[in-house]
Structure 1
Amino acid sequence: MARRNRTRSSARTRVGNLDLATCERARVSRDRRFDGRFFSGVRTTRIYCRPVCPVRPAKAENVSFYPSAAAAERAGFRPCLRCRPETAPFSPAWKGSLATVERAVRLINEGALDRAPVEVFAASLGVGARHLTRLFDKHLGASPGQIARTARVQRAKRLLDNTKLPMIEIALLAGFRSLRRFNAVFAEVYKRPPTEIRRAQRNG
């Protein structure tokens, strides 16, 4: 699945309303104007970053661009611990062009899919679940469920970084229904458990 997604992503000629040459210039120059508008995945490290990442830019031939953090994770990349994709500003590339998608993402970030299935959520937006999924795949490179999963993990990562709350509280506040599920999804995305990341922070 990941290989198929990587192939489809690498075949894209645009990322949102940006062409690939623009993304590459923004990535190399760390242009803050593009922060949140795309993410770059480095195939040699399997890590994805914001355009403003302080790490030395990878070679262009090793980089793929994605319209959302969820799309990068769907393609098999894990979030960078230096530039912290979970702190990127909400700046969707389709802003102003697709009100349904913009509203849907805003509601997902507020936890809408933590409380209801995709079918009910789509109906509340006045569209069918299949149509909403097609819109998300076209403009974000990921399904509503995948966007919601990334939103939960990002909420958890911010709480992990900025609070001293116990893991069970972080899991529930982030939208996970159990600590076990939180640990499993977090480890799948970051390739390490949340306790390890918190321990590393405490050790500087």
Structure 2
Amino acid sequence: MTEDRHILYEALLHRDERYDGKLFFAVTTTGIYCRPICPAPKPKPQNVLYFASAEDAQTAGFRACKRCRPETRPGSPAWEGSKTTVVRALRLMATGDAPETLAELADKLGVTDRHLRRLFATHGEESPVKKAQENRLSLARVLLATSDAPIADVAFSAGYKSLRRFNEAFKAAEGISPTAWRNSQSNNDKDPGHDSP
């Protein structure tokens, strides 16, 4: 049993995701139970009890941790924790009407811009600002290639607040203006490259 407890404690120390949802630990000194991936400081081994389910920990009189939310259903937004905020941010940024600044985006998500940057770094994403810029440019390319809409309409539809900012961002990314890029795309469509047999 000592060896088993040592293995379980190692899982807590290393925040081993393989045990998440299969192992819960409670701290006798605080009366709180957690998931093994909880970011809270780890307790001393002698203060830890192990449970196979959240229900068992609750039945034993422990209350759920507010950071890792062990009482929630696996796979739910609450279970996913901070990853859910990143997913929501990415979803918002994929729309043309996403907030323009990082501060506005963070405010819409209910976090600070500093915390949002930290969450993106934690979950292996590019910075929110860079990701939003890539999304806007990607949408602009699609609109330029598939419609005859004026460049200003493309810029605003892609989420840019000014034509000047759009032109600067597009030229920085593509090396040419949006108009020249659109013309090059339509020239490529007209040139089949070779005759059909």
Larger Rg over CA atoms: 2
TM-score (norm 2): 0.49
TM-score, normalised with respect to structure 1: 0.48
